[in-house]
């Protein structure tokens, strides 16, 4: 399959900290379905983690306790996210971070992302196609590709920026004859973390 014909699900999470296994949780998740170089669907939600948001996290993403008071919990939101993925290829900038949180919180719900779901990292793609950059932060890569940067550090603005960036990177890859999706995935793919679920739930998938 050609990389331009694949259907991508670009996603991002905002969290209470940097380590899910030490108790940090997702407080916002957003995703878009990206096909034929355009956004065709969107999903986003705040998530109530069940505890107060650390000031350090609030300073970064601007998400406050008041904003999360009436937000749904992860068991209400994440099944919808898995439905939204629906066979697409997951994409993120430094996607290991976002994928790690998603997979860990799904494991707490005794669920997991389907084994067949691939994941691509735009950070890896940018380092290959733009080797001259001094910084590979999302905003810096986007600006280098001529994409205006407005709000960042909220899930949907970051997702929309990453999707536009993915489109430019796919164009560049095609110009360099990187057109086969399987080969593209081998080069820029990321393995999903495999967090253990409770006994007897291994076959239960969203």
**Token couple for 29:** 């998740």
Which DSSP helix (H) or strand (E) runs through 44? strand 38-46
pLDDT-based confidence at residue 204 (cuts at 50, 70, 90): very low
**Full-model pTM:** 0.91
pLDDT at 201: 40
List the domains of the chain with CATH numbers: 8-188 (3.30.420.10)
- According to DSSP, residue 189 is labeled B
| Average pLDDT value for residue range 9-32 | 96
| Chain segment 90-144, per-residue pLDDT in tens | 999 999 999 999 999 999 999 989 889 999 999 999 999 999 999 999 999 999 9
Strand order in the sheet with 8-15: 38-46, 26-35, 8-15, 89-92, 119-121
pLDDT at 109: 94
- What share of the chain in percent tops pLDDT 90? 83
Angle at the Cα of 72 from the Cα atoms of 108 and 198, rounded to 5 degrees: 10
| Average pLDDT value for residue range 69-85 | 96
Position 86 pLDDT exceeds 50: yes
**Token couple for 167:** 């489109």
């Amino acid at each position: 399959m050609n990389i331009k014909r694949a259907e991508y699900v670009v996603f991002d999470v905002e969290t209470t900290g940097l380590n899910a296994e030490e108790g940090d949780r997702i407080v916002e998740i957003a995703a878009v379905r990206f096909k034929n170089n355009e956004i065709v669907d969107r999903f986003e939600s705040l998530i109530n983690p069940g505890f107060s948001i650390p000031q350090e996290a609030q300073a970064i993403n601007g998400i406050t306790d008041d904003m999360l008071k009436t937000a749904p919990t992860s068991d209400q939101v994440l099944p919808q996210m898995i439905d939204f993925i629906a066979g697409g290829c997951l994409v993120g900038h430094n996607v290991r971070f976002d994928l790690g949180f998603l997979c860990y919180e799904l494991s707490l719900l005794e669920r997991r992302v389907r084994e067949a779901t691939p994941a691509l990292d735009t950070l890896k793609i940018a380092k290959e196609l733009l080797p001259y950059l001094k910084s590979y932060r999302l905003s810096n890569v986007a600006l280098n590709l001529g994409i205006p940067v407005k709000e960042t550090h909220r899930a949907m603005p970051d997702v929309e920026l990453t999707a536009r960036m993915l489109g430019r990177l796919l164009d560049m890859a095609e110009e360099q004859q990187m057109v086969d999706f399987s080969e593209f995935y081998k080069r820029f793919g990321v393995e999903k973390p495999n967090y253990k679920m409770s006994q007897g739930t291994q076959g239960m998938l969203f």
